[in-house]
A = this chain, B = another copy of it.
Amino acid sequence: MSQNQILQSLIAENLVSDPKGARGRLLKEAARLFREKGYERTTVRDLAAAVGIQSGSLFHHFRTKEEILKAVMVETIRLNTALMQAAMEAAETSKDKLRALVRAELESINGQTGEAMAVLVFEWRSLSADSQAEVLELRDIYEALWLDVLGALREQGRLLAEPFVVRRMLTGALSWTVTWYRPERGGLTLDGLTDQVMAMLGFPAAP
C-alpha cells in the first residue's frame, strides 16, 4: 500500500480528517501555526484568519482551543502508526525492520506530517492531563512496534544497550532532527540521514 492509499483508508474510516475538508484544512493550518509560534502564542484569531473565517466560527468545529491541539496530535499518531506498520511489513530481517522504522519516523518528522509531529513533541505540556492520558494510550501501540524489533536485535547480540533505553534515545535523537535537518539546503538526503543513524548504532550501510 502506498502512503496515499493508507491516508485514504484512514479518512474513509473517519480516523483522520480529509485535508480538503474544512476540518482537515484547519488542523493543517493549526499544526503549522503551533509549530511556528507555539500553542500559547497562537490565538484563536490567528487560527481563524489562517483558514479565512471569523474567530467565533471556530467554535462550531471545536468546543475549545485545546480540542484543536488534541485533534492535531491524535490524528498524527493514527496516521503515523499506520505508516510505520506498513513500512515494517515490507522488511524481512530485524535490521531491515529497524531501518524501516528509523526511516519512517524521520519521514514523519521531516516530511508532510512534520509540523504536526513537532507539535506532538514540543506542545505536549499544553495538553490537559486528561487529554495527555488519552493520547498516551495511542502512543503505546506505536512504541510496541519499536520495542519488538529492538528486542529481537538485542537477543541476536547485535545491540549492546537495553532496547527500552535505545528507543528513548532514538525518540529524542530523531525528534531533534526537526530543529536542524534541512534536506533542501545541504547534501544529506533522508536516506543518507537514515544511514548515519544506523551507522551510529553499529549497523554500517551496505557498500
Contact = CB atoms under 8 A, between A and B. Distances in A.
Contact of A122 (B122, B180, B188, B196): B122
Does more than half of chain A's interface fall in helix, strand or loop, or is it mixed? helix
A180 B168 contact: yes
Q: How large is the interface on A (under 10, 10 to 19, 20 to 34, 35 or more residues)?
A: 20 to 34
Interface stretch (A71-79, A82-90, A199-207): A199-207
A202 to B, nearest CB: 5
Nearest to A178: B172
Interface in A107-163: 122, 125-126, 160-162
Number of copies: 2
B166 A200 contact: yes
Contact of A193 (B165, B170, B202): B165
A80 to B, nearest CB: 18
A26 B55 CA distance: 37
A166 B160 CA distance: 17
Contact of A169 (B37, B161, B173, B204): B173
B173 A170 contact: yes
A41 B162 CA distance: 37
